Amino acid sequence: MHSSKAGGNQLIGAALERFEDLRFLRGKGLFVADIAMPGMLQAVMVRSAVAHGRIRSIDTSAAAAMPGVVAVLTAADLGASVPRIPLRLDGQASYKPFEQPVIAVGKVRYVGEPIAVVIARSQAEAEDAADAVVADIETLPAVVKAQDAMVGKVLLVEAAGTNSPASIEGAKGDIAAAFAGAFHTRRERFSVHRHSAVPMEPRGLLAQWDADAARMTLMGAAKVPYHNRKLLAQLMQLSETQVDLIENDVGGGFGVRGEFYPEDFLVPFAARMLGRPVRWIEDRRENLMATNHAREAECEIEIACDRDGRIRGLRANSIVNTGAYIRTTGSTPPRNIAQVLPGPYRIEAVSSTVTLVVSNKTPSGTYRGPGRYEADFFRERMIDLAAADLGIDRVEMRRRNLVRDADMPWPMPTVVPLNIPSECDSGDYSITLERCIEEFAWDEKAKLAGKLVDGRRRGIALGCYLEGAGSGKESARLILQTDGRVMVNVGSSGIGQGIETIFRQIAGDLLELPLERIAGVQHGSTGLVEDGGGAFSSRSTVMAGTAISLAAEKLKASIRAAAAKRLGCAPDAVVIAEGIARGPDDRTVTFADVAADVPPADGVYTSPKRTYSYGAHAVHVAVDPGTGKVDVLDYMAVEDVGRIVNPATLHGQALGAIVQGLGGTLLEHLVYDEEGQFLTGSFADYLMPTASDYPRIEVHAMELKPSPNNPLGAKGAGEGGIIPTGGLLANAVANALGVELHDLPLSPERVWQLANGKAA
């Protein structure tokens, strides 16, 4: 999409600094917590301290009488029927009984579930009153482990008669024949621990009800504001035209932020009931306790191989602990586990069944690389084990099985009963592997594998992955302003991925305008375009970028038509460049001259096909057998992402994702006791990586195989960095210690147990 004309902008592909960074570095960001309105009230959620129990009563009288308190709401104040939150993606009828009510009704099912809302003049007064709410809850047995929940001795939803809402299968080829003809098979059981995204800025909402206009405005929207507007309107019995969701600056999303939570109904409901603005700001304990958790899954997986290491088939049975309810994206990670289990490998036969199980834990949802991180861990561990069994080098085992350019498009397993097919669009997956081992100096580092150096065992590993992204629908609107500059409006949301910069580059290149002539990029708020998909599944550049390109063609056509009238020529004879329209006789008019005659140009892009970027990572670790501490000495990542719009923002996304993966694998763990009590409610207990933890990470991005599925040739690449980290680090630690490793996290305690022969 670079300009082919002499002197063209060449903005796509340029490593420009992010436009949005300047306001953040200067403290000029505008977050929900920064906004105040006249008469604004503060909301505080009262959350259950019981993991599973029947609500006998909730006494709010003492709280309601406290200074500054305006109201205390429970389920009884919401009317005869308390709304429930439906799934956003991959819904099935069997999920309906497991949808979460916006406030606890009759029962509580996890520690942190909202049971009341206190609204007061100030945050302090609301918090004091929240402590005075008395909940009489009959404690019921809690079930926290998926295997125990499957037995069904304790049911979270008695009417459903089961704790398993559904099973999802990924199917491809003749799995029975693949195993029947195999030279070697191996079966193992693995597990991934519960952890999740922890954005720098917790969630926040500010709702304002205009009674005269019968209009609700909700600030703090993120990720999928158009979907959430539709859902909020439905739950509040309003039309969509009566609801505006406004996206403010967002301090990180990563899949968990921006889904529809109970607070997204309760805060607007309180604002309408009281006729005053109501703001709610989540604290860190709430964030860890109540925002979507992720990842917790176990898998029994079996691999079938030929003598030369060719993988004939994979079959697996996985269980995903989804927590107490099926939230808006709760079925997406299980679906992805089922579909992406074979990853970037030429495996003809796959059978992967994933069972969803509810438990008395916080509900789960998507987190960067949902399901893919888990599937990669299961698969990459099995490949290392199978390679050792067969006496084949780990690199060679992968080299022999990677999808080739001639195989494209390569079909992925079809997900049933959802009937979701997919296929890899383009790529030669061995290229990134070869580049990775070369840049990493694999042969040299391999000599250290298992060696004791300065009291620590050295280990190396590599892993391959793919990242599916970019399908659905997205919208953009380009507006030619009276000063001749162009404003870019998109339905996609900004959650830190740099879209204000990237979309400027795309629009500037396609309109032949310098960056300073792009007035800005407005995103996420529901009044900007008619409809929008949002920011998830690494889709923004692919979907919104393409929508911008379609709108740009329409805007140029309108400018040519308006200029042609002024210049007395045919529109096709008008040449546009640098904000000037030039006729065949060399007369010109500026964009500003014709702005009044040029309507906004809308672009809507719809695609059922996903893009698949791919890559290879390698790591060198040092493991201290005395403490269990794992140090990452060197980390190499190589990925092919099709067309690169901005190498600098891409590098930042890859680097950040890798650090999140390292932290999630080595440090982070959301822990419950046997009674369902949440034990990791602060950063003293839930460990996060710091800026100095992983200093030696190198990322190389390539653009060898553009996607044929969109005119930009771009592929989503915001999640790829995190996907292989679990399997990669597990293989490296196993390589260092010479042990079989089946479970994450690789916490110091667990690694010490492995190193000293004490692991279960």
Each residue's pLDDT tens digit, 265-321: 999 999 999 999 999 999 999 999 999 999 999 999 999 999 999 999 999 999 999
For the cut 90, the answer to whether the pLDDT of residue 204 exceeds it is: yes
Q: φ, ψ for residue 118 (rounded to 5)? A: -105, 130
For the cut 50, the answer to whether the pLDDT of residue 3 exceeds it is: no
Q: What is the mean pLDDT of residues 231-243?
A: 98
pLDDT of residue 2: 34
For the cut 50, the answer to whether the pLDDT of residue 186 exceeds it is: yes
Q: φ, ψ for residue 541 (rounded to 5)? A: -65, -45
For the cut 50, the answer to whether the pLDDT of residue 512 exceeds it is: yes
What percent of the chain lies above the pLDDT cut of 90?
Answer: 96
Evaluated on CA atoms 11, 13, 17, 20, the torsion sign reads: positive
For the cut 70, the answer to whether the pLDDT of residue 6 exceeds it is: no
Q: Beta-strand (E) ranges in 253-323?
A: 278-281, 297-305, 311-323
* CATH code, residues 38-140+205-255+257-290: 3.90.1170.50
Dist. CA 221–CA 244, nearest whole Å:
10
Dist. CA 714–CA 706, nearest whole Å:
6
- When pLDDT is cut at 50, 70 and 90, the band that residue 760 belongs to is low
pLDDT of residue 471: 84
Q: What fold does the segment set 21-30+472-607 form as a domain?
A: Aldehyde Oxidoreductase; domain 4 (3.30.365)
Q: Is there a shared CATH topology between the 21-30+472-607 domain and the 38-140+205-255+257-290 domain? A: no
For the cut 80, the answer to whether the pLDDT of residue 651 exceeds it is: yes
Burial class (CB in 10 A: 0-12, 13-18, 19+), 127: middle
Q: Residue ranges per domain, the chain?
A: 21-30+472-607, 38-140+205-255+257-290, 297-470+609-755
Structure tokens of 610? 């996903």
Q: Beta-strand (E) ranges in 128-277?
A: 134-139, 166-172, 184-192, 204-210, 215-219, 243-246
Dist. CA 410–CA 408, nearest whole Å:
5
How far is CA 4 from each of CA 7, 69, 71, 308, 372, rounded to the nearest angstrom? 9, 65, 63, 48, 38
pLDDT of residue 1: 35
Torsion region of 447: left, alpha or beta (phi above 0 gives left; psi -120 to 50 gives alpha):
alpha
For the cut 70, the answer to whether the pLDDT of residue 693 exceeds it is: yes
pLDDT of residue 8: 54
> If DSSP codes are grouped into helix, strand and coil, which group holds residue 388?
helix
How far is CA 699 from each of CA 108, 640, 648, rounded to the nearest angstrom? 46, 11, 11
pLDDT of residue 418: 85
Other Cβ atoms closer than 10 A to 180: 11
User: Residue 202 carries which DSSP code?
Assistant: P
For the cut 70, the answer to whether the pLDDT of residue 405 exceeds it is: yes
Evaluate if pTM is beyond 0.85.
Answer: yes
pLDDT of residue 676: 98
Of the candidate CATH numbers 3.30.365.10, 3.40.50.970, 3.40.50.300, 2.40.30.10, the domain formed by 297-470+609-755 belongs to 3.30.365.10
pLDDT of residue 7: 41
For the cut 70, the answer to whether the pLDDT of residue 718 exceeds it is: yes
pLDDT digit string, tens, across residues 527-575: 999 999 999 999 999 999 999 999 999 999 999 999 999 999 999 999 9
Structure tokens of 64? 């309601």
**Residue 620 or 10, more confident:** 620
For the cut 70, the answer to whether the pLDDT of residue 606 exceeds it is: yes
Average pLDDT of the chain is 96
pLDDT of residue 89: 87
Other Cβ atoms closer than 10 A to 113: 26
